[in-house]
Chains A and B, each alone.
Chain A
């Protein structure tokens, strides 16, 4: 019943601006695929092309075996949740939800029954007669979701659906979306700039940047084995360290950084000797070592700052060569600034990446991304 979505070589150019460039993607049937990227990366345009609300400049879009590139939106059997919800203010909640059924010529008693059942399952029992303006933001979002799902769409599209809500509601609605999508087995594309949302819900994540796909894969894969500094930074906080390759074997490299030698397990990217590379180490992969750490991956340094974050602490440690490493340490241990310490990291947790200029807006997202909701600069 669920269908796969195929996006093949899609381009979108407006004037001379290339908004989406050569994007090809298979969105697996019945799964929830996240398109993740900073504002202006082309993710919403990509979604609108899948919806048929924007025509691609080049490329094809397939739903299952059906080429829908030239099929009008209203014949694509879609459900969509808009960022602004786009509830029709002059219609009651029930009429909003039942509208799609009416378009599908479902009889009045049937569509009322189905719309009411849908409202029940999103937790809005008894609010059918209200107008959208009489609902809270979270309730409006639930109506938007009910309206999208009640038509039993083949494809569900979600465009930053939670960006208007406060943190608690976001978590609640996230769970609701997860539950409903799992129940209906719909193929869903979910566009967001919030990596926390993506990590929590996604079966697959596609990271976009400047109109192109940077990396696609499972959340774990994207998080622990990023293929570029940009992706590493966009998904949570990371330490990026400049280094030179001292020696390489098939699955391991020894790197020289200002702080000393680092051993890294290689996967995917294969650097050669004397290459300049970037090393990404997640803050939670770094441990305090008693004596010498595993396989010599140690950093000597002293505590610069220490901030309690509930059940863990965020530490900044100044290491040899002047660089600062961010460390996330579980537990409630107190570190005095200035205290000397030794850090260690498992080579398997060290990711070697091609050298690239680290861009400012990525840094901005990274510094905030993991611990809270990154504000959308738009």
Chain B
């Protein structure tokens, strides 16, 4: 039974107010700035800045390139993710469990780190040229495709997870009916399976589309600068004097929201549900003999390709400085880099910063998650749907836009000069203090995942269990502490770990909000090191390996807590 009580309204108001201030306000400031005549105060109204974005050939090219990257990345991800997803949902093959797990690994490794490995392998002095004895400048001539391939090899698991989840929900009789009718496997895939997969496919695709459209780290590392995200990144320093970064961000936000709405409402939602419930769960048909091994090999090949850049990072981290140059493998290997990295003040400081920021973001989100989940699942207060939508909003709003909004917020009331909270947070000033903003930014970005996780948990806990606690005299707080939190602990911890893991390797917020070395999180340190000559790249790789290890451990914990529900987190 759902109930409405005054304290539910109070909690709802608090949450709406908090999310309003930390999520909507920065977005509003960004949008406002894009239309303001006065850049410093953000007042007045003009369409001038927006028009300039489309008039300036470089900015226009940036938007076009961002769109091209998004479309190419999504297409490539779907080409990889859909066949693998259908195969995995429908069939068994040798070492299936191993392959099904391995295929997901690239998702947890940031393309930003992988890009460094890409360069080591594909660069003019890299391993591939050494192997072939050539001097092709692959990345110099094909930076665009470098970005696309690196992103697609990172993001295809999102499509794969959505496809497998949709596939499992299709009544197997749908496919059998087509077999009875005389359709062969190819025909069945295109006439029955693919159309029925549409909702899942579009849900996954819209995430990949928005993600790659606004990706900042990968183009940066590939030195691909004619793309909106990088242009905004380089414009941050001018935010006090120029409206152009604002306007560019507004354009990006608008396109991203269109993509989200397209994925959610326009495409593939109608008619896609089965008219009757399935009578049997989907069975996995064994692929025997050569077919099974072939499928296994396909999985292995994709995983291998996707992991190759990261292998490059590991090898680079193992190389003696300057020893991996125009050779297939480094001339000399050493473990010293890992030690050296930890002793480097920038590296050590960044690990400490990231740990602190990520743990704080995870804890903040776990609290928010329980409160929001409770309101959504257990109460009937008016406005809970608004809260639900608000909590999901970060899926549609690119991290880059949010980060930009936080910078804008640090320049405006209540943090501007003479305002009550002057100096509480600051990003681009001479004595910056971005820590609170970084925590909030990390938390808000991953809020949808933790809300998903707690809502799922609460829906599985019978209300009677809570009512029993009330009957025996527990107050609301006691009930939350003693009954609800312990019962959804699995989901909550999984969600928290996920927030932690993603925050550790968060790129946009980190690159934009941390402007001084002592505030650098891991990703900004990696980026800064790659830009540095000498031992920089090697140290960056060593740091990347440390970060990947941390990430792998926390995600292994998440997946063991969530099991097969792991995929549900990556759905719109």
Contacts and interface: CB of A to CB of B under 8 A. Distances in A.
Nearest to A141: B276
A91 B193 CA distance: 12
Nearest to A133: B275
A79 B179 CA distance: 10
A88 B179 contact: no
B173 A84 contact: yes
Interface string B391-433: 0000000000000000000000000000000000000000000
Given A100-B182, A103-B182, A140-B275, A88 B173 contact: no
A73 B192 CA distance: 16
B173 A86 contact: yes
B271 A90 contact: yes
Contacts of B177: 80, 82, 86-88, 147
Nearest to B196: A90
Interface in B181-238: 181-184, 187, 191-192, 195-196, 198
A178 to B, nearest CB: 22
Given A74-B184, A132-B275, A86 B174 contact: yes
A174 interface: no
A53 interface: yes
A83 B279 contact: yes
Interface in B136-191: 171, 173-174, 176-184, 187, 191
A151 interface: yes
Interface string A68-103: 000011110111101111111111000000011001
Nearest to A72: B179
A104 interface: yes
Contacts of A151: 181-182
A32 interface: no
A103 B183 contact: yes
Interface string A319-351: 000000000000000000000000000000000
B291 interface: no
B275 A75 contact: no
Contact of B278 (A52, A73, A84, A137): A84
B181 A53 contact: no
A79 to B, nearest CB: 7
Given A89-B196, A90-B271, A84 B180 contact: no
Contact of A88 (B192, B198, B276, B278): B192
B176 A89 contact: no
Given A83-B279, A103-B187, A89 B179 contact: no
Contact of A89 (B182, B184, B271): B271
A36 B73 CA distance: 54
A89 B277 contact: no
Interface string A128-150: 00011101010010000001100
B343 interface: no
Contact of B183 (A78, A99, A135): A99
A73 B180 contact: yes
B38 interface: no
A154 B173 CA distance: 20
A111 to B, nearest CB: 12
Contact of A84 (B171, B187, B192, B272): B171
Interface in A188-215: none
A122 interface: no
Nearest to A99: B181
Given A86-B171, A88-B192, A164 B176 contact: no
Nearest to B277: A84
Interface in B260-295: 271-279
Contacts of B181: 74, 99-100, 103, 147, 151
Contacts of B278: 84
Interface string B431-444: 00000000000000
A104 B181 CA distance: 9
Contacts of A87: 177, 275
A51 interface: yes
Contacts of B183: 74, 99, 103
B72 to A, nearest CB: 27
Contacts of A140: 275-276
Contact of A73 (B171, B179, B191, B195): B179
B216 to A, nearest CB: 38
A90 B195 contact: yes
Contacts of A86: 171, 173-174, 176-177
A104 B182 contact: yes
Contacts of A90: 195-196, 198, 271-272
B180 A89 contact: no
Contacts of A99: 178, 181, 183, 191
A88 B174 contact: yes
Contacts of A72: 179
A87 to B, nearest CB: 6
A308 to B, nearest CB: 37
Contact of A82 (B173, B271, B273): B173
Given A84-B278, A86-B173, A90-B195, A131 B182 contact: no
Interface string A44-58: 000000011100000
A79 B178 CA distance: 10
Interface of B: 171, 173-174, 176-184, 187, 191-192, 195-196, 198, 271-279
Given A82-B173, A88-B191, A135-B275, 5 more contacts: A79-B180, A84-B274, A87-B177, A87-B275, A90-B198
19 contacts: A51-B180, A73-B179, A75-B182, A77-B182, A80-B177, A83-B173, A84-B274, A84-B276, A87-B177, A88-B174, A88-B177, A89-B275, A103-B187, A104-B182, A131-B271, A140-B275, A148-B180, A151-B181, A164-B276
Kindly list the 7 A-B residue pairs having the minimum CB-CB distance in the complex, ordered from nearest: A86-B173, A100-B181, A103-B182, A90-B195, A86-B177, A82-B173, A73-B179
